Amino acid sequence: MSKERPTMAEMPYHFGIKMRCYPSTKQMQMIQKGIDASRFTYNEMVARNQDAYDCERLSEASLDPWFLFRTKDRFWEFWRHRGQLNDVNHRGEWKDMPLYATTLTRLVKLPLMANFYRACVKTQKTIKARYAWLQDKLIHSATLSMSMKSYSAAWNLWRKANKGKIGTPRFKRKDWFGAGTMQLSNSYASNQPIDMYSGYVKVLDNKHVQLPKLGRIRVSHLAHFMNVHDGSQIRIGTVTVTKDNLGYYWVSFQLGSKVPFVKSFKKTNSQLGIDLNIDNFLTDSNGNVVENPKFYRTAEKYLKNTKRKLSRRYLRTKKEKRSLRNSKNYLKQRLLVAKKMKRISNRRNSFLDNLSLALIKNHDLVVAENLQSKNMLKNHALAKSIADVGWRTFIQKLTYKSELYGKTFLAIDPKNTTQTCNDCGYVMGSDDKSERLSLRNREWICLNCGEFHIRDHNAAKNILQKGQLALA
């Protein structure tokens, strides 16, 4: 690609915006079909790859009965593809399971079948030919291809971090209320300028955007972005349309530009270490304390009554042997609970956004602990408090905002940051004359030098020192 028409990957700066959209009834139907098709295609990819893996893993001498049952229909598709249907009847069904097993063992080379499955994964034509409903004109073809790209990206992420941290791609569950996502790709004709006002996806005005298949759709929260940025220098990449569990619709744009989206913050020559904890949200190396707002704990009293009412309506519906989808009282209460939970999430997210932005703006270097929240949640006594505080989200916000505004953020190993005396370097519990500090020890005196420490302040100073050593 020439420098005059760079791709998204060639753009030096990237950004994303998320806007609420207000589709018409027909557009809602098209979005729902796209969400279902995207999820179904992803699950089909997972299933076919699992079959390919089973074909390579299983030998001809020992065939798993569950594998035989699960691959029966696809095995028939394989032989129909090869033009050999001697052991199936006119409806394409196997006459009996033993014959199917014998045929599989006698005729099929498992690696050959594995290659067939993998070939099916690489193209959407095979999947669309097998399932007629995917050929609906209301479903954009890019939806299926983008779902396949998402599946490939999931495998790439697994290979990149394959140290037991994440699992392989799994099936996506269908949401009762139609929540989900669909992705669309944007492209430009050779005679079109690369900006936000051209291409298959484009901005029509401050309140409307044009999307493939969906057409003109009204959005909010776009005017401020367009007033601040020059749309003629910005390229639109992948577009994600989302329906959440409240029934709200959102559209997200992946953007690329040759110029920065925001101005870098001025240098302050200030460095800060922060210790994240439950007692207060954080304590920094200067001794400042940010209190823990405890959004969920505060709302829990009112949320309990709402959830209790939802539980009663659930039990009543089940007792009357009615479907939950047809119970208006249950659906109304479920929506109320979802709104309350969303409000808690929004308040927490706003708090973390403002705090992370303030830290990045006022300090050139911010150092924090790389806390493994997933492991800490296994402690049932602290799990609710840890989930409420949002450490991992806070670290992610600090990471991307430091890159966006030209500052530095480091997440260091938290080992012994609490147990080490910042004055002399003595580690509590390192010998027989001392014991390791517990969560109850908020203040302590170093047995080596006699220095008095406030637990969190001392830890924050140790964290800053570790970060400075890492950069040295």
Q: Is residue 460 part of a domain?
A: yes
What local confidence, expressed as pLDDT, does residue 106 receive? 44
Tally of domains within the chain = 2
Give the pLDDT band (50/70/90) at residue 27.
very high
Whole-model pTM?
A: 0.81
Same domain, yes or no: 123 and 270: no
pLDDT of residue 144 exceeding 90: no
> E strands of 307-455, at which residues?
365-369, 408-412, 443-445, 452-454
Domain membership of residue 353 (yes or no) is yes
pLDDT average, residue stretch 115-144: 77
Kindly give the pairing relationship between strand 249-257 and strand 271-276: unpaired
Whether 267 and 413 map to the same domain: the answer is yes
Q: What is the pLDDT of residues 35-59, one digit of tens each?
A: 999 999 999 888 877 776 666 565 4
Domain assignment present for 301: yes
Residue 107 lies inside a defined structural domain of this protein: yes
**Same domain as 271, residue 134:** no
For residue 80, pLDDT over 90 is answered with no
More confident residue, 301 or 339: 339
Q: Is residue 456 part of a domain?
A: yes
Is the pLDDT score of 19 beyond 90?
Answer: yes
End position of a domain, from candidates 73, 107, 139: 139
CA separation for the pair 407, 299 (Å, rounded): 35
Note whether 437 and 294 are same-domain residues: yes
Task: Kindly state whether residue 180 falls inside one of the protein's structural domains.
Answer: no
Residues 306, 447, single domain; the answer is yes
Q: What is the pLDDT of residues 338-379, one digit of tens each?
A: 999 999 999 999 999 999 999 999 999 999 998 876 666 667
pLDDT tens, 434-465? 888 888 888 888 888 888 988 999 999 999 99
Whether residue 97 has pLDDT greater than 60: no
269 with 123, same domain: the answer is no
List, as own/partner pairs, every contact residues 292-296 make where C-beta atoms lie below 8 angstroms and the sequence separation is at least 24, other chains included: 292/389, 293/347, 293/348, 293/351, 294/385, 294/388, 294/389, 295/344, 295/347, 295/348, 295/351, 295/388, 296/344, 296/348, 296/384, 296/387, 296/388
Domain final position from 86, 107, 139 = 139
Q: Is the pLDDT of residue 96 over 50?
A: no
Model confidence at 466, pLDDT cuts 50, 70, 90, reads very high
With respect to residue 78, please indicate whether it lies within any of the assigned structural domains: yes
Structural domain contains residue 399:
yes
Q: Of 17, 21, 7, whose CA–CA distance to 262 is shortest?
A: 17
Q: What is the mean pLDDT of the chain?
A: 83
Q: Which of 105, 139, 173 is the last residue of a domain?
A: 139
The residue ranking higher by pLDDT, 7 or 380, is 7
Expressed as residue numbers, the domain containing 46 is: 28-139
Look-up of token digits 């193209």: 123
